[in-house]
């Protein structure tokens, strides 16, 4: 009987000894990095893209939802898996686990307290994270608050290297997909909007000048040129105005833009941009009857099928004012 007891004691003795061995700081850091950093990268990318997207658009909500899904998966890994399986993915790979001070398993409640208490480790200028390096029981401040410690345990029978590698590959694929989606839904469109804004800012004033300017000697050609600068929808209105000028007896009319600005309301789109222009010019054929003119107009430009910007509408905000240019 004594021999049996001695053999039993000899067999059972190593297990509790191995169970209470504290985990090394390197193993804890590696496990934490595997559990947090990949997910944090995806979440950070989604948050940046959500903040970049239009405030009231569906794209913002899409990236917000993706970030929320990854956050929930991280919570499951950090809180649910340890309570159910005894480890997170990172801890399983390194062969460590969180236990109560008395060696018992931890529940979701205690794990939640421990995760929140990690704020102390961070707010103490990261001293709490380094505390296991000189603490006899290798505890962080969070472990002290939650009454836990991290110990070495046998690795799961399943090959965790393959599991973790699969998770990391899936995370990288997800990150690439999020970045690609962000480029397709946000940055490519933003570049197109910036390009449209720059094109109209450069070309818009010249288009309006050519459309409103004409000379008596080249009236027919000038009017024909002006019509090519308008959309099919606005062209009939311009033709009516040109016919009224011809019926009243045309005189030379020259305009040039002295100031202009692309408007944000209505919003800029890739095919439609609005601009405010301050115009000055002169009207008259002879120096004796020459008059200086000023006007303020809002012009809506649309991009035609050939890629050229054309006038879709012109609204006079301030009627032309004429002053005598000569005595």
Q: How many CB atoms lie within 10 A of CB 18?
A: 12
Which of 197-201, 204-208, 211-215, 284-288 shows the lowest per-residue confidence on average (mean pLDDT)? 284-288
Q: Which domains does the chain have, with CATH numbers?
A: 2-158 (no CATH), 197-324 (3.10.450.50)
Phi, psi (5° rounding) for residue 164? -65, -40
Q: What local confidence, expressed as pLDDT, does residue 199 receive?
A: 97
Residues 171, 169: Cα–Cα separation, whole Å: 5
The kind and range of the H/E element at 27 are helix 25-52
Question: Which pLDDT value is given to residue 70?
Answer: 96
CA 190 to CA 327: how far, in whole Å?
Answer: 53
Query: What kind and span of H or E run contains 259?
Result: strand 253-262
Among 20-24, 44-48, 200-204, 262-266, which stretch is predicted with the lowest mean pLDDT? 20-24
Judged against a pLDDT cut of 70, whether residue 179 lies above it is answered with yes
Per-residue pLDDT tens over the stretch 213-223: 999 999 999 99
Mean pLDDT of the chain: 90
- What DSSP string describes 84-151? HTS--HHHHHHTEEEEETTS----HHHHHHHHHHHHHHHHTTTHHHHGGGT-TT---HHHHHHTEEEE
Does the pLDDT of residue 10 top 70, yes or no?
A: no
The predicted pLDDT at position 324 comes to 59
pLDDT at position 151 over 60: yes
Q: How many beta carbons lie within 10 A of that of residue 3, not counting itself? A: 7
260-301 pLDDT, tens digit per residue, is 999 999 999 999 999 999 999 999 888 777 888 999 999 999
Query: Could you tell me the pLDDT band of residue 325, with boundaries at 50, 70 and 90?
Result: low
């Amino acid at each position: 009987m004594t021999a049996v007891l001695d053999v039993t004691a000899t067999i059972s003795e190593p297990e509790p000894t191995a169970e209470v061995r504290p985990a090394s700081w390197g193993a804890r850091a590696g496990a934490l990095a595997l559990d947090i950093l990949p997910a944090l990268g995806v979440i950070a990318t989604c948050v940046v893209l959500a903040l970049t997207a239009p405030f009231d658009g569906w794209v913002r909500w899409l990236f917000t939802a993706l970030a929320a899904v990854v956050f929930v998966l991280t919570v499951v890994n950090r809180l649910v898996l340890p309570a159910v399986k005894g480890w997170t993915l990172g801890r399983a790979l390194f062969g460590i686990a969180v236990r109560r001070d008395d060696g018992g398993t931890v529940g979701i409640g205690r794990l939640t307290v421990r995760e929140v208490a990690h704020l102390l480790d961070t707010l103490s200028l990261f001293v709490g994270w380094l505390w296991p390096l000189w603490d006899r029981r290798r505890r962080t401040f969070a472990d002290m608050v939650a009454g836990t410690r991290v110990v070495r345990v046998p690795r799961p029978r399943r090959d965790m290297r393959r599991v973790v590698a699969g998770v990391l590959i899936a995370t990288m694929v997800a990150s690439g997909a999020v970045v690609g989606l962000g480029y397709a839904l946000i940055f490519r469109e933003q570049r197109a909007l910036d390009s449209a804004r720059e094109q109209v800012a450069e070309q818009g004033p010249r288009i309006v000048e050519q459309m409103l300017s004409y000379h008596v000697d080249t009236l027919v050609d000038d009017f024909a040129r002006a019509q090519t600068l308008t959309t099919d929808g606005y062209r009939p209105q311009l033709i009516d105005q040109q016919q009224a000028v011809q019926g009243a007896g045309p005189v030379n009319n020259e305009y040039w833009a002295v100031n202009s600005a692309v408007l944000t309301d209505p919003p800029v789109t890739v095919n439609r941009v609005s601009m405010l222009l301050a115009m000055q010019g002169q009207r008259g054929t002879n120096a004796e009857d020459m008059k200086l003119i000023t006007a303020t107009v809002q012009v809506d430009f649309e991009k035609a099928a050939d890629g050229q910007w054309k006038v879709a509408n012109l609204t006079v905000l301030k009627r032309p004012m004429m002053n005598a240019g000569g005595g």
